[in-house]
Structure 1
C-alpha cells in the first residue's frame, strides 16, 4: 500500500494489485499536483494525469503493463531496423503549468531529433472514462497519440491545434499498425519479437 497526502486533510491510500483502478478528484491546484508527484517519487508505478484542477491517478493492471511493454519492444525494433533515430522517454511526466496540463504516458518517443515534448505518446486503455487524455496532449503539443484498445490501435494526429483520427501514422507513414497489432497480441514475447523482426526485414 502507498500512502500519499493529496491535500492538508485528505491522505490517499492506494492499493496495488492486478486490478486496474482509477481515482479522480477535482479542485486540485497546480501546486498540490506537483507536491503529489513529489510524494509519489520517481519510481511510482501509478500513472498521474492533470487537467485544469482535475487529477486522475491510475494503477495499471498486469495485462496493461504486458501490452505496454510489448508495444514498446516491437516499435523500437521497427525503428532500429529502419534506422530511424528515436529517443524513448517511457512514462516521463510531461507538464506545462501555463496550460494547466500534465500526463504520464504509457510510452512516448521523440522521432528524428530529441525534444522537450515528445512527438508520439502511446496509451494502453483497459478502463473507459476519466480525464480527457487528448485534451491534455493537445495542450502539451504532442503531435501524435496512439491508443491501444480492444487489440487494435486508434491513431490521432494534431492538425490545426486539434486531433484528427487517421488510418495511419503521419510520423511513421510506412509502419502498418494493423500488422503491428497482430504481433502485440502474441502471448510469447520472444516469439513475437523474433517473428516481427523477420517481417520487418522483408518489408
Structure 2
C-alpha cells in the first residue's frame, strides 16, 4: 500500500537510545518528562528510546487518525480513542505511547488497535513492545507504505484484513493519506466508501 506524499520541511526526527535503564528509571523519566509536549518514551527490557517526532510524523499520524475515525463513524463501528496514552507492563519490561490507539466496542485496559508512524529506522522494536502489551492489531506507516499487523499467538504477521475493521480495504485507505489536504482526502474517501 504505497502512497506519494506532499513535500515536507527537512526537520528530522530526533531519537536517542539508552541501554541498561532500569524500570524504576523509566518510571521516573515518565513522571518527569511525561507531560513534555511531543516527547515519547519507548521501553523494551532495559533499553529506552527517547523520541521527538517531526512535523511530517505528526501530519501523517493525524491524517491516518482522521481517516480511520471518520470511516468508523460512517460504518458505525464504536471506536473509542485513547490518543497517545502511555501503556506499560513492568513484569514484561515494556512501555510506550502509541501515535494513536483505539478500543473497539468499549474501553479496555489496553487498546485493541494502534497506529505507528516510522519515518526513520533504528531504535526500539515497537512490535516487540506491542506484543508484550498484547495489542491485537498495529497499523504501521513506514517507507511510504501502510502495513497492518495482527497478533497471532506470540508473533505479529502482516494482514490484509482487520478483525476490527473487517470491510476496510487498506490499499484504498492508503490512497487517501494526504497530510497536506486532509479535508478533501477525507471527503473523497467517504464518497468511495458510500458508493460501495
TM-score, normalising length from structure 1?
0.88
The yes-or-no answer on 1:116 pairing with 2:98 is no
Number of the residue aligned with 2:66: 73
For 2:91, the equivalent position in structure 1 comes to 98
Q: Matched residue of 1:192: which SS?
A: helix
Are 1:194 and 2:191 matched, yes or no? Answer: no
TM-score by length of 2: 0.91
Match of 1:168 in 2: 161
* RMSD over equivalenced CA pairs, Å: 1.4
Measured against aligned partners, the alpha-carbon deviations of 1:117-153 in whole angstroms (never above 9, x if no partner) come to: 0011111110011111111111100001111123321
In the TM superposition, residue 186 of structure 1 has moved relative to its aligned partner by: 5.8
In 2, Cα distance between equivalents of 1:112 and 1:56:
32
Query: Residues of 2 paired with 1:43 and 1:197: CA distance?
Result: 35
Q: For 1:3-152, what aligned pairs fall within 5 Å after superposition?
A: 18-152=11-145
SS in structure 1 of the partner of residue 109 of structure 2: coil
**Retained in 2: the 8 A contact 1:86–1:114?**
no
Cα pair distance change 1:186/1:136, threshold 3 Å: closer
| Gap runs ≥5 in structure 2 | 1-9
Q: Is the 8 A contact 2:59 2:179 kept in 1?
A: no
Distance in 1 (alpha carbons) for counterparts of 2:58 and 2:170 = 19
List alignment gaps of at least 5 residues for structure 1.
Answer: 1-16
How many residues in Structure 1 have an aligned counterpart in Structure 2? 187
Indicate which of 163, 167, 171 corresponds to 1:178. 171
Q: What displacement does 1:27 show?
A: 0.9
8 Å CA contact retained: 1:25, 1:56 = yes
- Structure with bigger RCO (C-alpha 8 Å, 6+ apart): 2
Detail structure 1 runs of 4+ shifted over 6 Å in the superposition: none
